[in-house]
Amino acid sequence: MNSQLIPFSFENKFKVRTILIDSEPWFIARDTGTVLDISDVKSTLRSFPESEKGVHTMHTPGGDQQMLIVNEPGLYRLIFQSRKPEAERFKTWVFTEVLPQIRKTGSYGVNAGELKALRESLMLAKSERDTYKRLWLEERKTVLRFEKRAFLTWEDKREILTLLINNYPLSKIQRITKKSYDRIKSFRDELIAMNDEELERFHTRIKAVGREAAQGHEGGAV
């Protein structure tokens, strides 16, 4: 496997090392655990799916070291297990600065693996419909309170999509995003109804939103 170590500094306090493995970004789990105040990252990762974690051999002056690593879904799962106030800032920094910068020199197209993972996650979402029907009916009673937050921007869709891919239930997505449960459910159902061609076009648009957000952040920096 091809790998390249890329170091970053979060808020000029924390070293965060990333690795490109076969053109996909992975993160050194120990570094992210330090930022998120997760003391025993190794134990935390035991419950993670195998597809979201791995081991990377790092060459150092003292010899080879085995480092635990996580990919983007694994990183997102770590972030949402942290109670540290910096977790939200760290998430924003990673997804608006780090990942776009890593991909500036590489391709950022939709690949078959990403589409397969997205399709599988959406298929799992279908089974939630009956489970959360009662919650949806309760939400209908208070939907007017969320009227101003009902419309989903592309940035909103990007965040919700990432949570859906990581199998977060709709009720938790509502708490995280502060968006209407009814609107989130409607968006989820739209995704489920898409065919592969429509899903690929949508996924490409979502990735473009991430790049545009990163460019806007850079343009607004002083």
Domain map (residue ranges) of the chain: 3-105, 112-219
Q: What is the pLDDT of residue 28?
A: 92
Q: Which residues of the chain have pLDDT under 50?
A: 1-2, 106-112, 114, 143-149, 217, 220-222
Q: What is the pLDDT of residue 150?
A: 52
Q: What is the pLDDT of residue 2?
A: 46
Say which residue the tokens 């940035």 belong to. 155
Q: Which two tokens stand for residue 114?
A: 């990403």
Q: What is the pLDDT of residue 135?
A: 65
Cβ neighbour number for residue 59 with a 10 Å cutoff: 9
Length of the chain: 222
Q: Is the Cα dihedral 59, 61, 64, 66 positive or negative?
A: negative
Q: What is the pLDDT of residue 68?
A: 94
Q: What is the pLDDT of residue 22?
A: 79
Beta strands in the chain (DSSP E): 3-10, 14-21, 24-28, 53-60, 63-70
Q: What is the pLDDT of residue 32?
A: 92
Q: What is the pTM of this model?
A: 0.46
Q: Tally the C-alpha atoms within 13 A of residue 214's C-alpha that lie toward its C-beta.
A: 18
Angstrom CA distances, 71 to 26, 79, 180, 220, stand at 4, 12, 29, 29
Residues 35 and 10: beta-carbon distance below 8 Å: yes
